[in-house]
Amino acid sequence: MEENKVLQSLLQQKIIAIVRGVTKEQIQKTAEAIVSGGIPCLEIAIDHSSPESVLQTYEMIRCLKETFAEGICLGAGTVLSGQEVTACVEAGAEYIISPNQNPDVIRKTKEAGKISIPGALTPTEMAEAWEAGADIVKLFPAGTLGLDYIKAVRGPLKHIPVSAVGGVTPLNCRSFIEAGCCSVGVGGNLVDLKKIEQGDYESLTKTARSYVRNLR
């Protein structure tokens, strides 16, 4: 997918499902459940607990890319190095999300023609990420910082698209958009590992629909 189309899709959909802690055996049904609920933008977070788990994340990205093709807007999360950027892009990631503001990660992402979404907490970090080439800046933890904080930093930084991540629920997701965020990222409140372990993928679909309903 072309870079501009990916960015347009992220801004239009307004929500990214953060898939973390899901096994290779569970990833297919998990993705199907979320996409069926109306959320086609999925971030597959790298598991850094071991070299093998990192490689497994790449395999999951590749598997989903091959299965869903253009029916999914697929990204990689918790990307910490330029080397990981290259591996994720080769696996099929269209956007790269990081928990921090790493200039090398941003640069490698843009050199690959992909969308860069680094993490930031302060106005200084947000401005530095934007100047380094970020397309969207991830504000984390948004729920802890609160809506007043978001509104305050958005004042002088309205030109920087901000995605709220952390503590986003079906009930409050719209509030983050109204506070000035262009999108939200949702992890455990949507991708419930206990439900997945129980094989209750329908609950993921229902939760996804509630997010979509409240954001549109």
- The answer on pLDDT for 124 being more than 90 is yes
Query: Omega into 161 within 30° of 0, i.e. cis?
Result: no
pLDDT digit string, tens, across residues 22-81: 999 999 999 999 999 999 999 999 999 999 999 999 999 999 999 987 789 999 999 999
pTM tops 0.85: yes
Residue (of 185, 89, 84, 83) closest to 137 by Cα position: 185
Residue 2's pLDDT band (cuts 50, 70, 90): confident
Domain boundaries, the chain: 3-215
Residue (of 38, 11, 71, 68) closest to 208 by Cα position: 38
Question: Residue 146: which region, alpha, beta or left (left: phi > 0; alpha: psi -120 to 50)?
Answer: left
Residue 216's pLDDT band (cuts 50, 70, 90): confident
pLDDT digit string, tens, across residues 157-189: 999 999 999 999 999 999 999 999 999 999 999
Torsion angles phi and psi, residue 96, rounded to 5? -120, 125
Cα angle vertex 98, ends 15, 71, to 5°?
Answer: 40
Q: Which CATH architecture has domain 3-215?
A: Alpha-Beta Barrel (3.20)
Amino acid, res. 169: T
pLDDT digit string, tens, across residues 73-121: 999 999 999 999 999 999 999 999 999 999 999 999 999 999 999 999 9
Determine the Cα–Cα distance for residues 103 and 101; give it in Å rounded to an integer: 6
**Treating both helix axes as pointing N-terminal to C-terminal, what angle do 201-215 and 24-36 enclose, rounded to 10 degrees?**
40
- The answer on pLDDT for 3 being more than 80 is no
Residues assigned a catalytic role? 43, 138
pLDDT at 1: 64
